Amino acid sequence: MLFNSLEYIIFLPVVFFVYWLFFNKRLQAQNLFLLIASYFFYGFWDWRFLFLILASTIVDFFVGQCIYSSTSEKEKKNWLWLSILFNIGLLGFFKYYNFFIDSWIDLTSIFGYSIQNTWTLKIILPVGISFYTFQTMSYSLDIYHKRITPTKDFISFATFVSFFPQLVAGPIERASNLLPQILDRRVFKYSQTVDGLKLILWGFFKKLVIADALAPIVDDIFMNYHQYSSSTLITGVFFFTFQIYGDFSGYSDIAIGTAKLFGIELSPNFKFPYFSRNIAEFWRRWHISLSRWFRDYLYIPLGGSKAGTWISIRNVFIIFLVSGFWHGANWTFIIWGGIHALLFLPLLLTNSNRKYVSSIVAERTTLPSIKEFFQISTTFILVMFSWIFFRASSLTHAFGYLKTIFINTNSAPYDHPSGYRMIDYFIIIILFVIYEYRIRKNERAPFNFKSRYVRFLIYAILLLAMLLFYDDQIDRSFIYFQF
């Protein structure tokens, strides 16, 4: 079920009112109802996927109990490996099986061997599998490292795994944050509900007016890149840069806002990443829950940046390459991860990768300094061009796109059939960036204005823009559903 679908517009109010009218006094009833609603939400795509999420839930629930009750370190590790191998195996089969088969056949062909491809399977990628497998696996890892104690309430644990607002595209929640809220009875709070509705409105604006409006132009430019000039191709990458941000951060806002409606606070996932002053800050602001997952469960266990220069360099490349591969079974994502590793490396070697951990751009001033403006612009351009590999369907496509940018400079500077509509989109993006800069200090308060009239005027403008830009002829699914 898509957030931006008629079914969800009916589903959410029904679940909200039933939840607070009939299940507001008993914790078990609250969780059981949320679990049923979440399974209905997830099974709306394909009911067969429910068996996968249920299997992952059962395995990690009992593994957590076994790790906690084990008396020897060896026994604890064995149970932990069961969780890791099960979840990675589940993810590997459904997401990467055909990729490894195809890559093996391509590798053998380089050495002159011809293998008939009879091994690939028609596998449907279950929606959200990359997210909920990481979420359940982190539960077992946290118990093993004694960060949390396991719950004996299976319904509450299953609700933690399948909580529908963040189930299919995050944020990837930790048990230490979400599970205590699931295990504690929620009480209706008017202010929390209003804040949630505001975030939902802001998320829908990002999705419908920014991401969905730009999608057809981006698709056309990337599909037919050989027909267009350099300036049009750069425009295509620029538009995709805001399409993916509007799409994914819009989803996160809707998810966080929806969770608030049920008395639950989810972790942050985006904090204005395009105002970052270097690549390290960008990754502290982009897909925060995934970055922290890899930092805590892969980078730090490998030694982080405290195990010597060469080990640190190795760890940086591992973390970014794995992060790229997590996004999809394609070499383009691995190259995309490698590019960010190379961009991060100078910061690591100069010990400046943690320079902007606790500050924001122009923290005490209205406008950024010339230095900050240059840093933001440089980081944005580097990130923007790296998105070519993320968006391209293959390495041939990506390198062909880049090559055409550099060789097709003699064509018309602007030659896209959308014509003057492109100007409209540029204006919208500029206004959007200015507005985000205005609210950059708090991503959860997009309408933080003292005047009630100003707030209602903004609500009206956003709703009108969504009505004007809504197009039921385009694919309205979220980009990160494919991951």
The helix-helix angle for 452-469 and 190-205 (nearest 10°) equals 40
* pLDDT tens digits, 243-279: 999 999 999 999 999 999 999 999 999 999 999 999 9
| Cα Rg of the chain, angstroms | 23
Quote the pTM value.
0.92
pLDDT band at 164 (very low <50, low <70, confident <90, very high): very high
Report the C-alpha gap between 344 and 297 in whole angstroms.
19
- Using the Cα atoms of residue 173, residue 179, residue 182 and residue 186 in order, give the sign of their dihedral: negative
* pLDDT tens digits, 195-226: 999 999 999 999 999 999 899 899 999 999 99
Cβ–Cβ < 8 Å for 349, 309: yes
* DSSP states along 82-104: HHHHHHHHHHIIIIIHHHHHHHH
> Which of 101-110, 304-313, 357-366 is predicted with the least confidence, judged by mean pLDDT?
101-110
Residue 226 annotated in active site: no
> pLDDT: is 474 or 143 the higher one?
143
**Mean predicted confidence (pLDDT) in 454-463:** 94
* DSSP states along 285-308: HSSHHHHHHHIIIIITTTTTTSS-
Q: Where is mean pLDDT largest: 121-125, 338-342, 361-365?
A: 338-342
Q: Which of 145, 226, 287, 327 is catalytic?
A: 327
Question: What is the distance between the terminal CA atoms of the chain, rounded to a whole angstrom?
Answer: 16
Average per-residue pLDDT for the chain = 90
pLDDT at 25: 83
pLDDT at 121: 62
pLDDT at 359: 86
* pLDDT tens digits, 410-433: 666 556 666 657 788 899 999 999
Assigned token pair, 8: 């969800």
pLDDT band at 282 (very low <50, low <70, confident <90, very high): very high
**Mean predicted confidence (pLDDT) in 448-460:** 93
**Mean predicted confidence (pLDDT) in 370-376:** 96
